[in-house]
């Protein structure tokens, strides 16, 4: 059985990467900022945020739930625990109360029959808004009214930012990204250091900070501070294809703790330099690293008119799939039976289903689909930042058992994922459950199966000359 990391000894194994990161995550709670405003200001900020962010879609979703319960079994946190409070429709209760009392046409009536909202209501809602909703969108697939619970939960996260009720781990990383521009210390210096390490130890060149390039690639904090194999693999593939590419130190970070915490201004603040850098280099394509939430942060960003940008944005699995479909990726066969986990943000919410499968086909992989796959794939339980939250440990661990059962049912020996967060959560679950499956990152798998031939050499020469 071939493995994703066995041929790249420059960096630690992913098992070691996970253990190292787990230590850093454990320290985040102590670094979290304390509330700075009065309780009255925090409550007013939360309510005002919901009022401001409620448009026609939100109003319709909040008005139209018929409490049919269809969504209940679709949520992995309910499935895993059987606890009614984790049913998706419960996660919008507080938002609906604010809506009914403050905005709805019948607000005069709701003010007579419902209790005023208090800060303690937002405190109590934290478990539903952060720990038990990965914003996976699975419940929307079965809702007869098409209610997008994930979006409503996201608005609630914005309200929680205003109420200074972001869970400590996300709050600490939000403040780091806001104040320092880094995530776990992933600075431009860390990028430069990683580029040098990859050149010196693996002999692979990374064209850092080119003035002009057809393709601009993003990296992520996980790649820079823990798993250099992700960036190394990306560089090997880009060089192999002879692509005119770059990575820019003024816009490289995929991770976005504005999106994860609910801080809209940080979300935008983090995305703007990436867009500017891509425009500056004249990129035709922006490739987003294997970082699931970076996909909605950029591609589906409500503050960006993505369609009007002079470049297209692609997730790494989409880019690889496009290359595979065009016959540009010549890959050695992948041995053993594998299954593929669709990250919620790129799959169900992004539609990137065919592309990763095209890559596996180019490896002649014996792919066996999970019982629930593509649009109905179960979230791994760690999305939307939940992987980082200590308070969510039980929910995360229990819901991951759904994934274990599903993978075991396929008889696959290994699981391929294309999201660093999913992969970390899978690794956590693998270690905790002494699970005998191997885990692969799609981009690392491709890099480790490249066939070097004359065509490749010609492509590389073209890339070098560009
Ligand atoms: S499926 Fe839709 S309408 Fe039915 S309870 Fe859930 S959110 Fe409400
Ligand atoms: S979006 Fe996903 S995690 Fe959130 S309530 Fe729906 S099914 Fe559950």
β partners of residue 68 = none
Please report the pLDDT score of residue 10 as a whole number: 74
Over the Cα atoms of the chain, what is R_g?
A: 22
Q: For residue 27, how many other CB atoms are within 10 A of its CB?
A: 10
Q: If you average pLDDT over residues 54-63, what whole number do you get?
A: 97
CA 241 from centre of chain: 26
Indicate the helix (H) or strand (E) that contains 339.
Answer: strand 337-340
State the distance from the centre of ligand 1 to the C-alpha of 408, rounded, in angstroms: 31
Indicate the helix (H) or strand (E) that contains 441.
Answer: strand 438-441
By percentage, how much of the chain surpasses pLDDT 70? 94
Task: Say if ligand 1 is within 6 A of residue 69 CB.
Answer: yes
Please report the pLDDT score of residue 199 as a whole number: 94
Please report the pLDDT score of residue 380 as a whole number: 95
> Among the listed ranges 6-20, 63-77, 279-293, 434-448, which one has the minimum average pLDDT value?
6-20
Each residue of 241-252: pLDDT tens digit? 999 999 999 999
Residue with more model confidence, 383 or 452: 383
Each residue of 361-370: pLDDT tens digit? 999 999 999 9
Query: Which residue's C-alpha comes closest to atom 8 of ligand 1?
Result: 65
Residue with more model confidence, 184 or 243: 243
On the question of pLDDT at 4 being above 50, the answer is no
* Nearest-ligand number for the alpha carbon of 78: 2
**Alpha-helix residue ranges (DSSP H) falling in 299-419:** 316-325, 354-362, 393-410
How does the average pLDDT of the chain come out, rounded?
Answer: 92
State the distance from the centre of ligand 2 to the C-alpha of 377, rounded, in angstroms: 12
On the question of pLDDT at 9 being above 70, the answer is no
Please report the pLDDT score of residue 16 as a whole number: 83
Torsion angle in degrees (nearest 10) through CA of 387, 393, 396, 400: 110
Residue with more model confidence, 464 or 223: 223
On the question of pLDDT at 7 being above 80, the answer is no
Query: Which residue's C-alpha comes closest to atom 6 of ligand 2?
Result: 139
Tokens representing 33 are: 């900022």
Instruction: Quote the DSSP letter at residue 337.
Output: E
Q: How confident is the model at residue 379 (pLDDT cuts 50, 70, 90)?
A: very high
On the question of pLDDT at 418 being above 60, the answer is yes
Side-by-side strand order, sheet with 215-217: 245-246, 215-217, 285-288, 312-315
Q: Rounded to an integer, what distance in angstroms lies between the CA atom of residue 320 and that of residue 334?
A: 16
Instruction: Quote the DSSP letter at residue 452.
Output: P
CATH 3.90.420.10 fits domain 14-25+181-465:
no
Q: Rounded to an integer, what distance in angstroms lies between the CA atom of residue 177 and that of residue 173?
A: 6
Query: Which residue's C-alpha comes closest to atom 4 of ligand 2?
Result: 133
Task: Judge whether 225 and 255 are in contact, CB under 8 Å.
Answer: no
Each residue of 94-113: pLDDT tens digit? 999 999 999 999 999 999 99
Going from N- to C-terminal start, the domains of the chain cover: 14-25+181-465, 39-163
Instruction: Quote the DSSP letter at residue 255.
Output: -
On the question of pLDDT at 1 being above 60, the answer is no
Please give all residues whose beta carbon lies within 6 A of any atom in ligand 2, as ranges: 74-75, 77, 88, 91, 133-139, 149-150, 153, 379
> Which one of 58, 62, 68, 95 would you pick to mutate in the ligand 1 pocket, going by the greatest count of ligand atoms within 8 A of its CB?
68
Task: Judge whether 290 and 419 are in contact, CB under 8 Å.
Answer: yes
Task: Judge whether 150 and 137 are in contact, CB under 8 Å.
Answer: yes
Please report the pLDDT score of residue 463 as a whole number: 47
Please report the pLDDT score of residue 306 as a whole number: 61
Instruction: Quote the DSSP letter at residue 130.
Output: I
* Nearest-ligand number for the alpha carbon of 70: 1
Each residue of 424-462: pLDDT tens digit? 999 999 999 999 999 999 999 999 999 976 555 444 544
Q: Rounded to an integer, what distance in angstroms lies between the CA atom of residue 61 and that of residue 72?
A: 16
Q: Rounded to an integer, what distance in angstroms lies between the CA atom of residue 304 and that of residue 266?
A: 14
Residue with more model confidence, 76 or 298: 76
413 Cβ contact partners less than 8 Å away, ≥ 6 residues apart = 1, 336, 337, 338, 437, 438
Q: If you average pLDDT over residues 284-310, what whole number do you get?
A: 84
Between strands 366-367 and 337-340, the pairing is parallel
Q: Which atom of ligand 2 is nearest to the CA of 379?
A: 2
Query: Which residue's C-alpha comes closest to atom 6 of ligand 1?
Result: 71
Side-by-side strand order, sheet with 438-441: 366-367, 337-340, 414-417, 438-441
Q: Which atom of ligand 2 is nearest to the CA of 88?
A: 5
Tokens representing 128 are: 């539903």
Q: Rounded to an integer, what distance in angstroms lies between the CA atom of residue 146 and that of residue 65?
A: 9
Residue by residue, DSSP assigns 274-329 as HHHHHHHTT-SEEEEPS-TTHHHHHTT-TTS-GGGSSSEEEEHHHHHHHHHHTT--
10 Å CB burial of residue 103 (0-12, 13-18, 19+) is middle
Query: Which residue's C-alpha comes closest to atom 7 of ligand 2?
Result: 75
CATH placement of domain 39-163: 1.10.1060
Please report the pLDDT score of residue 257 as a whole number: 94
Each residue of 198-216: pLDDT tens digit? 999 999 999 999 999 999 9
> Among the listed ranges 94-98, 158-162, 293-297, 377-381, which one has the minimum average pLDDT value?
293-297
State the distance from the centre of ligand 2 to the C-alpha of 8, rounded, in angstroms: 37
């Amino acid at each position: 059985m071939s493995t994703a990391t066995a041929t790249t000894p420059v960096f630690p194994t992913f098992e070691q990467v996970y253990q190292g990161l787990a230590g850093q995550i454990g320290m985040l709670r102590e670094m979290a900022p304390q509330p700075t405003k009065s309780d009255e200001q925090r409550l007013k900020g939360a309510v005002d945020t919901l009022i401001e962010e409620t448009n026609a879609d939100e109003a319709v979703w909040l008005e139209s739930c018929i409490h049919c319960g269809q969504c209940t079994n679709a949520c992995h946190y309910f499935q895993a625990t059987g606890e009614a409070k984790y049913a998706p429709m419960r996660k919008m209760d507080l938002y609906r109360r604010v809506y009914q009392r403050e905005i709805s046409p019948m607000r005069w009536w709701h003010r007579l029959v419902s209790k005023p909202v208090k800060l303690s209501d937002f405190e109590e809602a934290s478990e539903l808004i952060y720990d038990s909703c990965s914003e996976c969108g699975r419940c929307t697939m079965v809702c007869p009214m098409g209610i997008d619970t994930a979006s409503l939960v996201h608005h609630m996260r914005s309200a929680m930012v205003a109420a200074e009720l972001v869970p400590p781990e996300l709050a600490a990383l939000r403040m780091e990204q806001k104040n320092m521009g880094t995530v776990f210390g992933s600075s431009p210096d860390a990028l430069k250091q990683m580029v040098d390490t990859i050149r010196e130890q693996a002999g692979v060149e990374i064209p850092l900070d080119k003035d002009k390039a057809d393709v601009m690639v993003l990296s992520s904090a996980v790649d820079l501070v823990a798993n250099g194999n992700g960036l190394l693999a990306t560089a090997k593939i880009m060089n192999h294809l002879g692509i005119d590419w770059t990575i820019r130190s003024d816009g490289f970070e995929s991770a976005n703790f504005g999106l994860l915490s609910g801080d809209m201004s940080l979300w935008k603040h983090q995305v703007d330099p990436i867009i500017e850098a891509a425009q500056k280099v004249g990129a035709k394509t922006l490739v987003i690293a294997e970082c699931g939430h970076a996909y909605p942060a950029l591609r589906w960003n409500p503050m960006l008119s993505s369609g009007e940008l002079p470049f297209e944005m692609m997730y790494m699995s989409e880019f690889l799939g496009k290359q595979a479909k065009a016959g540009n990726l010549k890959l050695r066969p992948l041995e053993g039976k594998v299954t593929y986990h669709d990250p919620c943000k790129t799959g169900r919410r992004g539609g990137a289903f065919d592309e990763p499968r095209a890559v596996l086909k180019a490896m002649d992989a014996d792919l066996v689909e999970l019982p629930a796959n593509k649009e109905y794939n179960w979230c791994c339980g760690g999305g939307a930042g939940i992987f980082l939250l200590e308070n969510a440990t039980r929910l995360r661990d229990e819901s991951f058992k759904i994934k274990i059962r599903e993978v075991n049912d396929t008889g696959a020996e290994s699981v391929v994922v294309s999201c660093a967060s999913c992969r970390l959560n899978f690794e956590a679950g693998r270690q905790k459950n002494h699970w005998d499956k191997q885990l692969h990152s799609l981009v690392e798998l491709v890099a480790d199966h490249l066939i070097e031939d004359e065509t490749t050499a010609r492509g590389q020469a073209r890339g070098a000359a560009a």
